[in-house]
Amino acid sequence: MAQDEDLTACPVRWADDGLLLIDQTRLPGELRRVLIDDVDALVEAIRSLAVRGAPALGVAGAFGVAVALRQGAREGWDRAATLAAVERIRHARPTAVNLRRGTDRAAARLEEGVAAVLEEAEAVRREDVAANRRLSELGADWLLARAGHDRPLRLLTHCNAGALATAGWGTALGVVRELHRRGRVELVYVDETRPLLQGARLTAWELAQEGIAHVVQVDGAAASTILYQGVDAAVVGADRIAANGDTANKIGTLGVALACAHAGIPFLVAAPTTTVDPDTPDGAAIPIELRAPHEVTGPDADERSPGFNPAFDVTPGSLVSALVTERGVAEVSRGELPGKLWGTPA
């Protein structure tokens, strides 16, 4: 099992000669950092989930613009070729709005050169860590206020919305870290999250690093765990939140939300406002990434029984007890829209 000095530190950052990222496909067995100085390598790292998680993709996309500029200077690209390379990064995965946002924010400074792009990308990274820390405090406050007791909480989470999925600290796991810091976590049920096992491989690794009590369960156990194991709340991340509060997150999240509604416990979505997309009106407008069938069935499966592999599902806002961001909390299931976070009336 790999050990990391401080996983709440940033898994995606700029080194001297390129983008330095943890290759998450090798965790938890091996902590391997790779230096990316080529656009094709970055696109492949995004598509293979070597770098993954909405906020982390935003940071990778932003630094990716510097990768494109530097590669263009080495290979004599003209402006059109550089912009085309940036577009390939921007579209490497469709669902997490952060990838497009982070790339666009850095690309807006392309004409100023590499130093300006790096300055903007570093701001994207720094702002995400600050946002995660703040939303974690607000999320812990909200959950403890709702709990109605002072004993530690039993929580459930799905996929990995931890430090690995962000610029550091995490969103859903950031809330868990903050609750743990306050002595208010009894146990975390970690959905393994098929088919790529972000829960069993990444969330479990993060929680184990910090001594936060947890168990790993199959995704199919989530509903019965929520109904019969005394879970106080489910806390998940997000990849894109629509203007009406519908939320795209890892496939299987909708089932968790439905079980929480049936059990009458909070279903909390923790995300920075960079994941909220006012230009996406509702969940039907969120593009859902369809990944390779073999990730589900394995490479040697009978081709007459192909896999169906949507990477995300959409939870309607009516099931979202609270959307927690660094700007505050919107109780979407009670009619508060994400626009409230920007002062727009519900």
Q: Which residues bind ligand LNRAV4D5 (CB under 6 A)?
A: 49, 52-55, 159, 161, 165-166, 171, 198, 236-237, 239, 249-250, 311
Nearer to ligand LNRAV4D5, 118 or 202 (CB): 202
Query: Does the annotation place 250 within a ligand binding site?
Result: yes
- The dihedral region occupied by 284, where left means phi > 0, alpha psi between -120 and 50, and beta the remainder, is alpha
Residue 49 CB, nearest approach to ligand LNRAV4D5 (Å):
6
CB count in 10 Å sphere of residue 318: 14
Q: The tokens of 172 are what? A: 């859903």
Residue 331 CB, nearest approach to ligand LNRAV4D5 (Å):
20
Q: Is 114 exposed, middle or buried (0-12, 13-18, 19+ CB in 10 A)?
A: middle
Query: Does the annotation place 54 within a ligand binding site?
Result: yes
Q: Are the beta carbons of 49 and 250 closer than 8 angstroms?
A: no
Angle (deg, nearest 10), helices 39-47 and 54-75? 160
Q: Are the beta carbons of 308 and 296 closer than 8 angstroms?
A: yes
Query: Does the annotation place 53 within a ligand binding site?
Result: yes
Residue 170 CB, nearest approach to ligand LNRAV4D5 (Å):
7
**Cα 165 to chain centroid, rounded:** 5
Q: Are the beta carbons of 288 and 95 closer than 8 angstroms?
A: yes
Residue 57 CB, nearest approach to ligand LNRAV4D5 (Å):
7
Spatial distance between the Cα atoms of 333 and 180, rounded to a whole number of angstroms? 26
**Cα 118 to chain centroid, rounded:** 22
Considering 4, 191, 219, 239, which one is annotated as catalytic? 239
Nearer to ligand LNRAV4D5, 82 or 198 (CB): 198
Spatial distance between the Cα atoms of 28 and 190, rounded to a whole number of angstroms? 15
Q: The tokens of 145 are what? A: 């206020």
Residue 151 CB, nearest approach to ligand LNRAV4D5 (Å):
27
DSSP E strands in 228-343: the ranges are 233-236, 240-242, 247-250, 267-270, 276-277, 312-315, 322-325, 328-330
Nearer to ligand LNRAV4D5, 102 or 237 (CB): 237
Query: Does the annotation place 229 within a ligand binding site?
Result: no
Query: Does the annotation place 340 within a ligand binding site?
Result: no
Active site residue 16: no
Nearest C-alpha neighbor of 189 from the set 239, 145, 233, 152? 233
Nearer to ligand LNRAV4D5, 43 or 117 (CB): 43
Query: Does the annotation place 249 within a ligand binding site?
Result: yes
Residue 148 CB, nearest approach to ligand LNRAV4D5 (Å):
27
Nearer to ligand LNRAV4D5, 152 or 293 (CB): 293
| Main-chain phi, psi angles of 138, to 5 degrees | -65, -35
**Cα 184 to chain centroid, rounded:** 23
Nearer to ligand LNRAV4D5, 163 or 185 (CB): 163
Which residues are annotated as part of the binding site for substrate?
52-54, 93, 198, 249-250
Binding site per annotation, positions: 52-54, 93, 198, 249-250
Which residues does the annotation mark as catalytic?
239
